Amino acid sequence: MARARKLELAEALALGPDWRHACYALLHAPDPGILFGRLPLRFAILMQMRFDGRLGFPGGFVDSQDSSLEDGLNRGLLEQLGEAAAAFRVERPDYRSSHAGWPRVVAHFYAKSLTLEQLSAVEASATRAKDHGLEVLGLVRVPLYTLRDGVGGLPIFLENCFIGAAREHLLDTLHDLGVVEAGAFSSLQIPARQRQPSVDAGNLR
């Protein structure tokens, strides 16, 4: 089976009716916090532990009743993150990329900037969300620092098992935010078990 293939948005939207679309969003906010009095946090970035044990981003499938990709995405965010997700809306300018893969699913990735107050409210409401404890097992913040041993923090976090292109999406966003340089973690080993061909397609129900 082929690996997921990157598409332009127009190309992805032109795919036939036998393709399903899913949308996912990386939520981030500036964070002025300092860890241990010396490690600047810089940003708070949310990921979630999925039902399959992999790390990914909140979102899900676009359904027939959704009038746009973004309508489907924002509905999915409410289901997975709870009422605090109603305080903002992910829109087309937040779109970043699309990947098509097996089984005829195209995943669209977005990155949305929030205030730290909005992001903290999302964390607080997530345990009351419809999908908490089912499709979503919990939220985590990505550690954006490297400890003195050169391993702890972001390097070891990136050795986790991610769904689809989520790891690459995270690194691309960190590059856009000026947190890491392009290719900074290209030498890290990706466990064989996460080299799956599927896109970040959620629960294929």
Q: Which domains does the chain have, with CATH numbers?
A: 5-177 (3.90.79.10)
Question: Which tens digits make up the pLDDT trace of 26-55?
Answer: 999 999 999 999 999 999 999 999 999 999
Task: Assess whether pLDDT exceeds 70 at residue 2.
Answer: no
Give the end-to-end CA distance of the chain in Å, rounded to a whole number. 20
pLDDT tens digits, residue range 110-141? 999 999 999 999 999 999 999 999 999 999 99
For residue 57, give the nearest of 27, 101, 84, 97 by alpha carbon: 27
In this prediction the pTM is 0.86
In this predicted structure, what is the pLDDT of residue 182?
65
The enclosing H or E element of 181 equals: none
CA dist 4 and 190 (Å) reads: 16
Q: Name all contacts of 188-192 with Cβ < 8 Å and 24+ positions apart.
A: 188/155, 188/158, 188/159, 189/159, 191/159, 191/161
pLDDT at 196 over 80: no
Q: What is the pLDDT of residue 184?
A: 67
Cβ-count burial 40-54 (b if 16+ within 10 Å, e if not): ebbbbbbbbebeeeb
